[in-house]
Amino acid sequence: MKPIVQISLDLTDIDEALETAAMALRAGVDWLEAGTPLILAEGLHGVRKLREAFPGTPIVADLKTMDGGYLEAEMMAKAGATYVVVMARAHAETIKCVVQAGKDFGVEVMGDNLGCPDMVEGAKWLEGLGCDYVVHHIGYDERRGIAAAGKRMPSPLDQLREVVEAVNIPVQAVGGLSLEQAIRCPEFGAPLVVLGAPLTIDADAFKTADGNLESSLRLICEKVHGYGEVEIKTASNRR
C-alpha cells in the first residue's frame, strides 16, 4: 500500500477548516479528516461543506462512535464521508452496526483502540469485528495528564510495531507525534500518516498553527510519498 497523508481538521470553525483543507491539498495531502472538534461544532453540515468543496477527496469523519452506530455511520455516509470512526471500547454490537452500515452505504470503518487496557488486543478485536483500518491512538487528555504528573508521556510508537504485526489491515498512529515521528510511521509498517494537533493545529486554541504551514506540509508529503510501498498482510477475514 502506498503511504497516505491525512490532515486532521481539529478546528471549530468551518471557514477556517475549508481554508486549511484547501491549503493542505495544494501541499499534497491525500485525505481530509473532519476532526472531532469540527464535528462537535458543525456536525453533518461541516462534512457536507467539505464534500461540496472537495468532491474527489476522501473524507474521514472522526465520530468516535460509542453507541447508535448504524445511524451515526448512515448519516455521515449520506453527508459525504468516506470513512467513519468507531471506538474499540464500544459494545461489540455497536461496532458490528457500524460495519454493517459501512457495507450498506459504501463507507469504510476505522476502529480506534483509544483507552483499551491492552492496545494490541484492542486492535485485533476491531479487525475481528470487521473494521477496515485500525487507529492506534493515545488520547489527548491521557497524554496531558501523564505529562502533568511529571511522568514520561506515552506515544503510539511505543507499541506500533506490535499492533501492525497483530493485524492484517492498515494501521495509523495518532496521539502527540512530532513531525519526525509521524513521517517515520511507514517504517513501522503503518502507511496512514496523520498530521493534526499539535503538528498543524494549535492544540490549545484549536485553530490553524502559525508559520509557513503549506511549505512544511509539502515537504512532509514529499517525504512520506517517497517512502514507497508499505506491505500489508493479506487478511482472509476482511470484508
> In the prediction, which pLDDT does 215 show?
86
Residue 32, domain member (yes or no)? yes
- 8: cell is 486532521
Residue 203, pLDDT > 60, answer no
Quick one: pLDDT band at residue 237, thresholds 50, 70, 90?
A: very low
Residue 239, pLDDT > 60, answer no
Q: Is the dihedral of CA 125, 131, 133, 136 positive or negative?
A: negative
Residue 104, domain member (yes or no)? yes
CA separation for the pair 43, 207 (Å, rounded): 17
Cα→Cα distances 204→15, 77, 139, 207, Å: 19, 30, 15, 8
Residue 202, pLDDT > 60, answer no
CA separation for the pair 50, 77 (Å, rounded): 13
Query: Which residue range(s) make up the domain with 10?
Result: 4-225
pLDDT tens, residue by residue, 21-72: 999 999 999 999 999 999 999 999 999 999 999 999 999 999 999 999 999 9
* 68 and 75 Cβ atoms separated by less than 8 Å: no
CA-based nearest residue to 137, from 127, 149, 122: 122
Residue 39, domain member (yes or no)? yes
Residue 231, domain member (yes or no)? no
pTM of the model: 0.90
CA separation for the pair 120, 103 (Å, rounded): 25
Judged by average pLDDT, the poorest of 1-5, 31-35, 209-213, 227-231 is 209-213
Residue 235, domain member (yes or no)? no
Residue 84, domain member (yes or no)? yes
CATH number at residue 15: 3.20.20.70
Residue 238, pLDDT > 50, answer no
Count of the separate structural domains present in the chain? 1
> In the prediction, which pLDDT does 178 show?
82
CB pairs under 8 A, 24+ apart, for 177-185?
179/216, 179/220, 181/155, 181/157, 182/220, 183/220, 183/223, 183/224, 184/157, 185/3, 185/160
> In the prediction, which pLDDT does 179 show?
80
> In the prediction, which pLDDT does 177 show?
87
Q: Which residue has the higher pLDDT, 75 or 236?
A: 75
Q: DSSP assignment of 15-43, as one string?
A: HHHHHHHHHHHHHT--EEEE-HHHHHHHH
Apex 37 CA angle, 216 and 45, nearest 5: 105
Residues in the chain: 239
Residue 97, domain member (yes or no)? yes
Region 162-172: what's the mean pLDDT? 98
- Say whether the peptide bond before residue 186 is cis (omega within 30 degrees of 0): no
Residue 106, domain member (yes or no)? yes
pLDDT tens, residue by residue, 93-138: 999 999 999 999 999 999 999 999 999 999 999 999 999 999 999 9
